[in-house]
Amino acid sequence: YVESSYPARSSGRNRHRSSNLLPRPFSVFRGYLFIMKQPLLEQETSSSSEATGTKSLFTDAGWFSIITFSWMGPLLDLGRKKPLDLHDVPSLDDSDSVHGVLPNFKAKIVSNSATGQFTDATAVKLAKAIVLTTWKPILVTAVYALLSSVASYVGPYLIEYFVDYLNKSSRSSREGYLLALTFVVAQLIEGLSTRHLQFRSKQVGVRARSSLVAAIYQKGLALSSQSRQSNSSGEMINVVSLDAECVGDFSRSMHDLWRLPVQIVLAMLLLYSTLGFCPAFAALLATALTIGGNKPLGRMEQNYQEKMMSAKDVRMRAMSEILQSMRILKLQGWEMIFLSKIIELRKVEMNWLKKNVYTSAMLLSIFFSAPAFVAMVTFGVCVLMGIPLETGKVLCALATFRQLQTPIHGLPDAYSMIIQTKVSLDRICSFLCLEEL
0.75 surpassed by pTM: no
* pLDDT given at position 430: 84
Instruction: Judge contact between 351 and 278, C-beta under 8 A.
Output: no
> pLDDT value at position 260?
84
Looking at residue 105, its pLDDT comes to: 85
Helices (H), 276-334: 277-292, 295-324, 326-332
Contact in structure between 219 and 293 (CB atoms under 8 Å):
no
CB 308 within 8 A of CB 349: yes
Delimit the domains of the chain by residue range.
1-31, 98-432
For residue 223, give the 3-state DSSP assignment: strand
Containing 221, the helix (H) or strand (E) segment is helix 173-221
CATH 1.20.1560.10 describes domain 98-432 = yes
> Do residues 146 and 197 touch, judged by C-beta distance below 8 A?
no
pLDDT of residue 188: 92
Buried (b) or exposed (e) across 266-300, using 16+ Cβ within 10 A?
bbbebbbebbeeebbebbbebbeebbeebeebbeb
List the chain residues with pLDDT less than 50: 1-36, 42-53
Beta bridge partners of 223: 436
Would you give the distance in Å from CA 157 to the centre of its chain? 33
| Tens of pLDDT, residues 36-63 | 455 555 444 444 444 444 567 787 778 8
State how far the Cα of 249 lies from the Cα of 272, in Å rounded to an integer: 36
**Other C-beta atoms within 10 Å of 126: how many?**
26
Angle at 148 between CA 145 and CA 151, to 5 degrees: 145
From CA 194, how far away is CA 201, in angstroms rounded? 10
